[in-house]
């Protein structure tokens, strides 16, 4: 691997990119998107709304059917957006990979999870590469958006695509542009976030940048595929490390009676030199709990120890245990009982508020821990009537959300707020709960003397 590879030069003459560039700039090009999940679907709709025709491919036949019926699989994406794309004949969802042969540009938005030993699992990227190699044609643009370690596009995806007999830069164009999607963020959606772009050769960079210029307010070209891959890891590691810092500070300050949330609110009034991060019950989602370990794995391959990143991972993965310990302490202090036999309600199992995404959610870890301690655990989340199967928490699959009613709330020894969805009635929660362990500082908005008697921080 050559991290210093010069993407601006090629041993062979580059494929002519003028024809594709013209189609992209006139928005006559057809865009193919592999993976219609939390990244691929918003990107598909963004491209449709910009005037492109989009072919969306997904293995999930039920998701394909729902989208073609103008239904949205995600609560933060309105069905009306899907319907509008269909109405103007801009969007088609399909489970047939052959349909992607008609696309001028194919964007890969597939998962890059961790394996059982926290090693990168690139199986979805590799499978997609093999699928595209079977239909790849001259003049096509292929862009990987999935988060991964530096070297993946060049050393993993490129050889698979070239097994077709076509050559990158000579016959087709290969680029990398990391996704920056933030599900449920009302302030920044796909169309408002600049895109970092790199290409395998000048022609690839040119056409990839031209595509994204039609979709987002600005593109940020960088010198190599590896640099673009490193940008995304850096963004998420930055967040992971700073969240770990405030989580660790919280543990210390709690022992001396200082409220970490109050500290952050006061500190962020400084107009320079400080950026607010908030403590919580642990990391969730498909990015921040996973991406740092892509770099630590790559660093070990190079013989480099990433102690700082790994320490942040240890702090963040330890937060669910801290929450469970706080529940135990409060049950003992207030009622003279432990976790064994205690009835606990976990409120919110999504990894962040107002979304129906529970990937890597700390709520599931907390539920498992409470269950193993001998407790009786239920949950309430309006976005998840039933817990779907997950790789790490199979025992919870099929468990149903309980009703959010006074009669149910009053029978629990403790309620733990893990995800603070806005649609939850927190005043009712306060009125009918015996004990609330609040990991998100949500109950401070309800306030009053009654809250002081019922609510404990975690």
- Interatomic CA distance for residues 63 and 53, integer angstroms: 19
- Interatomic CA distance for residues 251 and 160, integer angstroms: 48
Q: How would you write the chain as a 3-class SS string?
A: CCCCCCCCCCCCCCCCCHHHHHHHHCCCCEEEEECCCCCHHHHHHHHHHCCCEEEEECCCHHHHHHHHCCCCCCCCCCHHHHHHHHHCCCEEEECCHHHHHHCCEEEECCCCCECCCCCECCHHHHHHHHHHHCCCCCCCEEEECCCCCCCHHHHHHHHHHHCCCCCECCCEEEEECCCCCCCCCCCCCHHHCCEEEEECCHHHHHHHHHHHHCCCCCEEECCCHHHHHHHHHHHHHHHHHHHHHHHHHHHHHHHCCCCHHHHHHHHCCCCCCCCCCCCCCCCCCCCCCCHHHHHHHHHHHCCCCCHHHHHHHHHHHCHHHHHHHHHHHHHHHHHCCCCCCCEEEEECCCCCCCCCCCCCCHHHHHHHHHHHCCCEEEEECCCCCECCCCCCCHHHCCCECCCCCHHHHCCCCEEEECCCCCCCCHHHHHHHCCCEEECCCCHHHCCCHHHHHHEEEC
Partners of 175 in beta bridges: 143, 199
User: If you search the block for the tokens 């961790």, which residue do you land on?
Assistant: 114
As a whole number of angstroms, the longest Cα–Cα distance in the chain is 77
> Do 198 and 230 contact (CB within 8 A), yes or no?
no
Torsion of CA 313, 319, 320, 326, to 10 degrees: 170
- Interatomic CA distance for residues 104 and 137, integer angstroms: 9
Beta strand pairing status for 436-438 and 53-57? Answer: unpaired
Kindly list the catalytic residues.
287
> Do 109 and 34 contact (CB within 8 A), yes or no?
yes
Retrieve residue 135's tokens.
């239909």
- What's the chain's length in residues? 458
């Amino acid at each position: 691997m050559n991290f210093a590879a010069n993407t601006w030069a090629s041993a062979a003459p580059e494929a002519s990119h003028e024809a594709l560039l013209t189609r992209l700039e006139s928005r006559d090009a057809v865009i193919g998107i592999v993976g219609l999940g939390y990244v691929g679907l918003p990107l598909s709709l963004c491209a449709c709304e910009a005037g492109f025709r989009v072919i969306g491919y997904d293995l999930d036949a039920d998701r394909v059917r729902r989208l073609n019926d103008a239904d949205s699989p995600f609560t933060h994406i309105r069905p009306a957006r899907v319907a509008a794309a269909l109405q103007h004949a801009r969007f088609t969802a399909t489970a047939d990979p052959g349909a992607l042969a008609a696309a001028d540009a194919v964007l890969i938005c597939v998962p890059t999870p961790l394996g059982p030993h926290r090693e990168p699992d690139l199986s979805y990227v590799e499978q997609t590469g093999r699928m595209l190699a079977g239909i790849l044609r001259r003049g096509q643009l292929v862009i990987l958006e999935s988060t991964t370690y530096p070297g993946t596009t060049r050393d993993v995806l490129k050889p698979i695509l070239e097994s077709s007999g076509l050559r990158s830069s000579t016959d087709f164009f290969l680029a990398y542009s990391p996704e920056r999607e933030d599900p449920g963020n009302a302030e920044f959606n796909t169309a408002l976030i600049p895109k970092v772009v790199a290409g395998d050769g000048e022609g690839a960079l040119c056409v990839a940048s031209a595509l994204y210029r039609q979709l987002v307010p600005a593109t940020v070209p960088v010198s190599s595929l590896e640099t673009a891959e490193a940008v995304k890891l850096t963004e998420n590691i930055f967040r992971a490390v700073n969240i770990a810092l405030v989580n660790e500070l919280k543990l210390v300050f709690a022992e001396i009676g200082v409220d970490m949330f109050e500290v952050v609110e006061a500190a962020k009034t400084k107009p320079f030199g400080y950026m607010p991060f908030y403590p919580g019950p642990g990391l969730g989602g498909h990015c921040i709990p996973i991406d740092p370990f892509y770099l630590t794995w790559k660093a070990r391959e190079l013989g480099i120890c990433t102690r700082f990143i790994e320490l942040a991972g240890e702090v963040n993965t330890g937060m669910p245990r801290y929450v469970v310990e706080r529940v135990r302490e409060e049950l003992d202090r207030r009622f003279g009982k432990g976790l064994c036999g205690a009835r606990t309600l976990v409120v919110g199992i999504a990894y962040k508020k107002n979304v129906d995404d529970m990937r890597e959610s700390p709520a599931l870890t907390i539920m498992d821990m409470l269950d193993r301690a001998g407790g009786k655990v239920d949950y309430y989340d309006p976005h998840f009537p039933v817990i779907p199967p997950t790789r790490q928490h199979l025992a919870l699959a099929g468990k149903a959300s309980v009703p959010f009613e006074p009669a149910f709330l009053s029978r629990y020894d403790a309620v733990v707020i893990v995800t603070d969805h806005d649609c939850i009635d927190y005043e009712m929660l306060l009125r009918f709960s015996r004990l609330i362990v609040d990991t998100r500082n949500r109950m401070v908005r309800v306030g009053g003397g009654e809250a002081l008697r019922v609510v404990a921080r975690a």
